[in-house]
Chains A and B, each alone.
Chain A
Amino acid sequence: MNGFPYLLILVFLPLVGAGVVAAMGKSPARVVKMTALGFSLVELVVAAALWVAYRHSETGAGGGTSLPNTTPSFTQTFSVSWIPTFGIHFSLGVDGISLVMIALIAFLVPIVLGASWEERLPQGRTIGGYFALILVMQAAMTGVFAATDVFVFYVMFEVMLIPMYFLIGAFGGVRGTYAATKFFLYSLIGGLLMLASIIALFVASGRVPSRVAAGLGGTLDWATLRSIAHEIPVSTQLWIWAGFAIAFAIKAPLVPLHTWLPDAGSEAPVGAGTLLVGVLDKVGTFGFLRICLPLLPAASTKLAWLIITLAVIGIIYGAIVAAGQSDLKRFVTYTSIAHFGFIALGIFAFTTTAISGAVLYMVNHGIATALLFLVVGMLTARGGSRNIRDYGGVWKVAPLLGGFFLIGALATIAMPGTNSFISEFMVLIGTFSRHPAWASVATVGIVLAAVYMLWIFQRTMTGPVAGAAVVDPEVDAADPFLPADGDRGGPVLTAPAHAPAAVKLRFGDLSKREIAVLTPLVVMVIFLGLYPKPVLDVINPTAARTVAQSCHLNPVPAAVGAKSGGYSSTSTITEGTCQ
């Protein structure tokens, strides 16, 4: 609780920003938007400073070679008593896993705001309201990742729903209300189950021998719960675990709890959808890492088979169903369901490589999906349709749009050289060393990913120019394909008045604003594909710690194990500490 309060600022600055933006009311839209963007950029700077401070404290504490077990779990901690009766503190802190997620949010929000700059909003909605809600989302999401008290985690988890609910319901597409309600109901059920588990956890923590002996009651402080995790009986852990796991499996989402996501993701406005799929859903997989593995290790070990099964089914199932979609945005959400399968698989493989890979996957997928989702949004804004059949040969008409789409597609199918390859590879190789059969089935997912992605690319981007991209040369002989109108930006959305009814919408290539929005994402895709070390250096120690906290040892290669008389490749700790 010393030093600069980075986390407090990161959580509350966007809230202040949202308040300011919402209060600006009648100000010119441009000023409102610049204000929101300004807040998000300051947030990004603070997040960068936090990153630097974290790295500094990490190397400083142990003289540069600190082992993960010699340092406390969290740094940059902040804590004030909140509900003293139950020992609940409003506590924040970061470890390697939450730091990269917080940085991801801070990186994505300015991009999302930039991408939503000229969003066409439903009647009666203002851009100020839209941007304010996104900033509220940012605050809540940052809060979830920074929470070090299970109750704070829960509150943030629930608060996060509110802005997203309005973003989908009030700013979304024609079926927005349906999608928002579905999103809300799913989340409500998950939230209630989690609530029950939290109460149970509180009770159980008050009954473990060490706390009874010391005359202490229940607690929801993460570090305390961690220290008594092995004392909670397995049978109790299983029930508590189930409530959390269902909540997280809805959020992540794992098949068969996934059907809210395609509706929510496709009806949400593009910016909100990007944050939904890119970040908000990762709260589910993050919950597995933060709550299930360290606090309920025995249950996590016992029921890992269940999550692994669902994860592998999700990888295959999500990919196949994605290939069959006719709606571009629904397509992107189904690809994400397949990717969430990889993340969950990596987490429950309990190896450092797989868990590091899963965390890196959460970051990389956030970046890659943002790229893909935003490009798809720019495409559908031009064509006025989300239906794949309304497009054809776009690459010819809008080469830049096609090029960015291609890079997003390649990142989605984990092409080496893009960031996603590293994380997918780490998940698979890390899982293979413990569960060769499951990892092998999951590897088939790389073929299916290529199937759905290349098929979409072929149908929308290649072939003869068709559908929404068609331009009648008779009408606009002077400017055939409408050169990118850089200064004004944005697509031309209505057919010219003199055009005959048969002429479809005109199609411009990306504007300068759109290029500026997408370029940072592409840079990150390639940079993290070639040199992920800065991020992995942050993740690895925490991942190794999480493996240990889940009571597992990394498998040792058979040849090495034979030499050193070491462990078999599936050995787990069976000492008293880990039931």
Chain B
Amino acid sequence: MTSHLLGAELLAVAAPLINPDAAVPSATGVAGFAGLLLLLPVLGGVVLLVGGRRLDRVGHIIGCATVIVAFVLGLLIFLATAAANSADRVHSLHLWSWFSSGGLNVDLALRLDPLSLTFVLLITGVGSLIHIYSIGYMSHDPDRRKFFAYLNLFVAAMLLLVLANSFISLYFGWEGVGLMSYLLIGFWSDRPAAATAAKKAFLMNRVGDVGLLLATFLMYKELGTTSYAGVFAGIGQVPPGTVTVIALLLLLGACGKSGQVPLQAWLPDAMEGPTPVSALIHAATMVTAGVYLIARSSPIYDLTPDARLVVAIIGTLTLLVGSIAGCAKDDIKKVLAYSTVSQIGYMFLAVGLGPGVYALGIVHLLTHGFFKAGLFLGAGSVMHGMNDDVDMRHFGGLARKMPITFWTIMAGYLAIIGFPYFSGYFSKDPIIEAAFSAGGARGVILGGAAVLGAGLTAFYMTRLMIMTFFGEARWKNLKSADGRDYHPHESPLVMTVPMIILAVGSVAAGALLVYGNRLVNWLSPSVGAYEEPHLPVAKIVITLGTLLAVALGVVVAYLLVGRKPVPVTRPEPVSPLVRFARADAGGNAINEALVARPGVWLGGALVFVDARGVDGAVNGLAAGLGGLSGRWRRWQNGFVRSYALSMLSGTFLVIAALLVVRFA
């Protein structure tokens, strides 16, 4: 081997880089056991799946126990971190070296910092409550063990998503939650609607995943690393245009996971899954992962005002689209689903308004986690008592039949519409203020849309309350789809206690988290210091304006829905606006026209081309060239001899050729 070649081979293997990861101190003490946060639910899930039917009787206990223990551990780590000096709250924990090749080194490692630990508490805390609730909700399901296995694996994947210390490990968790969401939406897999909704959710998520992957590739190309520490340390050297591209690609991923325009249509369909799934995955945790991703990538978004503006615009559009569609739905879970879409829109708006106010998005994410999970569990409790019916037109007058459910939902209702001193009031109003402080026409448009969204939220939530709990008991004269009479009843304690805890959270969380900027200051090591927005007008003006919009929404809902009997079937025809809202504000139509129909057409065309064109051409060529088809038949008759002959002639040919060459 020649010497210059040696040099080349040496260079090919050498692409070592400086390692900013080493700058993050390792976790010690109780945080050193953070790996158990992941291991416990994974073990729970695997044991439940592999154990099979013999674990049917104890499955739910294993499922709950692992998540509760993880919550306790998460709490201990949180307390230890909170007790530490604020400069010493970011740690890493190396698990193992995942894969490496060339310049690419990927470790499975955890990043324990205020942002991730906040999420750990949300995931395991709300997760524990929903696990417990599911014991009752799924008590009659023959596959309850499998349900808990999936739920456990979901918790593990979600924890990996928030605890990962690199974009690749994040992607592991990101896909993991997507898979579990797929399996849980389609949990009742013999229902075609559930199977279709599950597939739709997964596919629309994957569209977003392409963005996340490409962003990761681009970071690696520019910086040679994909760890948070490495990327955030080097992102300043990347050309601004490239930074914007990275930020927009991340946004695409975030939109897919969080059901933001234009990838929002899967989330309402995801309500085909069991209601605890809707509460945990499609309200409190997974769908907020997009907000997490942007907040986590704040050092990238800090550098690109253009991408931030796009985030804010997407958020604003989504909060309007979601709340408009939510106004026209009769399915109680779909109203709540569109409400989730719209509330996450607020969070996107907040993180898009950064730097300085990323934390506001996280605050709203947490309060929303409480009140929306509570609302969904409440809706599940209503369904539980109403033969699994979800059509609010069949409800009415249920407040007295299920008082605990009613009052817990009432707490969630007051929280989400932003009634003063409930949690939504503390978390949504600062976002609206921040939107106005964006300045100029931009501030007026973003802020105005946010206020309008608040009014619409008040409308659809009031409509939900009236149709479900007040007015005439319409179910008395109806039978459910399976032909049974309705006998509404309150749910058992195992379901109502988690609901009560979440209701308390809906009432108190805002005050606890927001007073004295407690949470935003706690998050500053992760997402940068909080800056009070500079308002164009007095704060009280915006607060009062927002309250006015909310009051208007409530009153209009009362006037339209509460003062006359609710028809049991959907009124037709309706105004174009209502038709638009009923048609998911155009979401599905756009997907159909732009993706689904061309895709099906292209698929059919290519299959035809492949069979008739490519293969046909080959077969035709074979037939054409010297009547090969005749020989084809002969080969079929005596293939042994023919093959041996052709092999032999091939060998002869090579030897003959070599001889010629040798002696030529």
Chain A interfacial positions (CB closer than 8 Å to B): 67-69, 83, 85-86, 151, 154-155, 158, 162, 165, 169, 177, 180-181, 184-185, 188, 191-192, 195, 198-199, 202-203, 206, 217-218, 226-227, 230, 255-256, 258-259, 317, 320-321, 323-325, 351-353, 356-357, 393, 395-396, 403, 410, 415-417, 421-422, 425-426, 428-430, 432-433, 436, 439-440, 443-444, 446-447, 450-451, 454-455, 458, 461-465, 530-533, 536, 539-541, 543-545, 547-549, 551-560, 562, 569, 573, 575-578
| For the complex of A and B, 9 pairs with smallest distance between CB atoms | A352-B102, A557-B224, A324-B607, A548-B9, A259-B615, A432-B217, A462-B195, A353-B102, A69-B9
Contact residues of A: prevailing secondary structure: helix
Q: Which residues of chain B have C-beta atoms less than 8 A from A321's C-beta?
A: 603, 606-607, 610
Cα A343 to Cα B586 with chains together (Å): 40
Q: Which residues of chain A have C-beta atoms less than 8 A from B99's C-beta?
A: 422, 426, 532-533, 536
Contact status B662-A559, CB under 8 Å:
no
Closest residue of chain B to A459, judged by CB? B195
Cα A151 to Cα B654 with chains together (Å): 9
Cα A352 to Cα B189 with chains together (Å): 43
Cα A328 to Cα B163 with chains together (Å): 40
Segment 292-331 of B: residues with Cβ below 8 Å from A: none
Cα A222 to Cα B231 with chains together (Å): 43
Q: Which residues of chain B have C-beta atoms less than 8 A from A444's C-beta?
A: 210
Q: List 7 extra interface pairs beyond A217-B662, A454-B203, A463-B195, CB under 8 A.
A: A426-B104, A462-B189, A463-B192, A554-B11, A554-B103, A555-B221, A556-B224
**Least distance between B1 CB and chain A CB atoms (Å):** 6
**Least distance between B194 CB and chain A CB atoms (Å):** 8
**Least distance between B200 CB and chain A CB atoms (Å):** 9
Q: A199-B657, A533-B97, A559-B237 are in contact. Are A69 and B102 (CB under 8 A)?
A: no
Cα A113 to Cα B10 with chains together (Å): 44
Q: A162-B647, A320-B602 are in contact. Are A351 and B102 (CB under 8 A)?
A: yes
Q: Which of B182, B606, B622, B643 contacts A317 (CB 8 A)?
A: B606
Q: A169-B639, A259-B618, A416-B176 are in contact. Are A324 and B210 (CB under 8 A)?
A: no
**Least distance between A389 CB and chain B CB atoms (Å):** 15
Contact status B199-A569, CB under 8 Å:
no
Q: Which residues of chain A have C-beta atoms less than 8 A from B2's C-beta?
A: 227, 230, 577
Cα A323 to Cα B596 with chains together (Å): 13
Cα A533 to Cα B98 with chains together (Å): 7
Contact status A357-B101, CB under 8 Å:
yes
Stretch at the interface among B12-20, B119-127, B465-473: B12-20
Contact with A along B637-664 (1 / 0, CB 8 A): 0010001001100110111011101100
Contact status A544-B102, CB under 8 Å:
yes
Contact of B387 with A by CB under 8 A: no
Contact of B223 with A by CB under 8 A: yes
Q: Which of A202, A416, A458 contacts B196 (CB 8 A)?
A: A458
**Least distance between B626 CB and chain A CB atoms (Å):** 13
Cα A374 to Cα B635 with chains together (Å): 30
Closest residue of chain A to B169, judged by CB? A416
Cα A575 to Cα B238 with chains together (Å): 30
Q: Which residues of chain B have C-beta atoms less than 8 A from A203's C-beta?
A: 661
Q: Which residues of chain A have C-beta atoms less than 8 A from B217's C-beta?
A: 428-429, 432-433, 436, 439-440, 443
Contact status B647-A158, CB under 8 Å:
yes
Contact status A544-B189, CB under 8 Å:
no
Contact status A202-B221, CB under 8 Å:
no
Closest residue of chain B to A434, judged by CB? B221
Q: Which residues of chain B have C-beta atoms less than 8 A from A256's C-beta?
A: 614
**Least distance between A304 CB and chain B CB atoms (Å):** 16
Q: Which of B8, B97, B610, B654 contacts A551 (CB 8 A)?
A: B8
Contact of B558 with A by CB under 8 A: no
Cα A219 to Cα B567 with chains together (Å): 90
Closest residue of chain A to B2, judged by CB? A577
Contact status B203-A446, CB under 8 Å:
no
Contact status B190-A464, CB under 8 Å:
yes
Contact status A199-B206, CB under 8 Å:
no
**Least distance between B518 CB and chain A CB atoms (Å):** 35
Cα A439 to Cα B654 with chains together (Å): 40
**Least distance between A475 CB and chain B CB atoms (Å):** 21
Q: Which residues of chain A have C-beta atoms less than 8 A from B659's C-beta?
A: 85
Contact status B654-A199, CB under 8 Å:
yes
Q: Which of B172, B210, B220 contacts A557 (CB 8 A)?
A: B220
**Least distance between B18 CB and chain A CB atoms (Å):** 8
Contact with A along B450-471 (1 / 0, CB 8 A): 0000000000000000000000
Contact status A352-B206, CB under 8 Å:
no
Closest residue of chain A to B217, judged by CB? A432
Q: A199-B654, A463-B190 are in contact. Are A181 and B195 (CB under 8 A)?
A: no
Q: A554-B15, A560-B17 are in contact. Are A325 and B607 (CB under 8 A)?
A: yes
Contact status A557-B207, CB under 8 Å:
no
Contact with A along B105-120 (1 / 0, CB 8 A): 0000000000000000
Contact status B186-A429, CB under 8 Å:
no
**Least distance between A427 CB and chain B CB atoms (Å):** 11
Cα A355 to Cα B196 with chains together (Å): 38
Cα A69 to Cα B646 with chains together (Å): 41
Contact status A446-B209, CB under 8 Å:
yes
Q: A353-B101, A353-B103, A548-B5 are in contact. Are A451 and B190 (CB under 8 A)?
A: no
Closest residue of chain A to B237, judged by CB? A559
Cα A69 to Cα B647 with chains together (Å): 38
**Least distance between B202 CB and chain A CB atoms (Å):** 6
Q: Which residues of chain A have C-beta atoms less than 8 A from B101's C-beta?
A: 352-353, 356-357, 426, 430, 536, 539-540, 543
**Least distance between B213 CB and chain A CB atoms (Å):** 6
Cα A69 to Cα B14 with chains together (Å): 12
Q: Which residues of chain A have C-beta atoms less than 8 A from B575's C-beta?
A: none
Q: Which residues of chain B have C-beta atoms less than 8 A from A177's C-beta?
A: 636
Contact with A along B136-159 (1 / 0, CB 8 A): 000000000000000000000000
Contact with A along B12-38 (1 / 0, CB 8 A): 110101000000000000000000000
Contact status B662-A352, CB under 8 Å:
no
Contact of B632 with A by CB under 8 A: yes
**Least distance between A147 CB and chain B CB atoms (Å):** 15
**Least distance between B132 CB and chain A CB atoms (Å):** 26
Q: Which of A432, A530, A551, A578 contacts B221 (CB 8 A)?
A: A432
Contact of B234 with A by CB under 8 A: yes
Closest residue of chain A to B195, judged by CB? A462
Segment 182-241 of B: residues with Cβ below 8 Å from A: 182, 186, 189-192, 194-196, 199, 202-203, 206-207, 209-210, 213-214, 216-218, 220-225, 234, 237-238
Q: A323-B603, A451-B203 are in contact. Are A353 and B104 (CB under 8 A)?
A: yes
**Least distance between B250 CB and chain A CB atoms (Å):** 15
Q: Which residues of chain A have C-beta atoms less than 8 A from B194's C-beta?
A: 462
Contact status A198-B654, CB under 8 Å:
yes
Q: Which residues of chain A have C-beta atoms less than 8 A from B209's C-beta?
A: 446-447
Contact status B653-A195, CB under 8 Å:
yes
Q: A321-B607, A426-B104, A463-B192 are in contact. Are A454 and B202 (CB under 8 A)?
A: yes
Q: Which of A68, A421, A443 contacts B9 (CB 8 A)?
A: A68
Contact status B9-A416, CB under 8 Å:
no
Closest residue of chain A to B175, judged by CB? A416
Cα A165 to Cα B97 with chains together (Å): 44
**Least distance between B522 CB and chain A CB atoms (Å):** 30
Contact status A218-B661, CB under 8 Å:
yes
Cα A393 to Cα B190 with chains together (Å): 6
Cα A226 to Cα B225 with chains together (Å): 34
Contact status B206-A447, CB under 8 Å:
yes
Q: Which of B96, B214, B218, B639 contacts A165 (CB 8 A)?
A: B639
Closest residue of chain A to B96, judged by CB? A531
Contact status B607-A577, CB under 8 Å:
no
Contact status A458-B199, CB under 8 Å:
yes
Cα A352 to Cα B223 with chains together (Å): 17
17 contacts between A and B (CB under 8 A): A181-B632, A184-B643, A195-B654, A227-B1, A259-B610, A259-B618, A317-B606, A320-B607, A352-B102, A396-B189, A410-B179, A432-B220, A436-B218, A440-B214, A443-B213, A533-B100, A557-B224
Q: Which residues of chain B have C-beta atoms less than 8 A from A217's C-beta?
A: 662
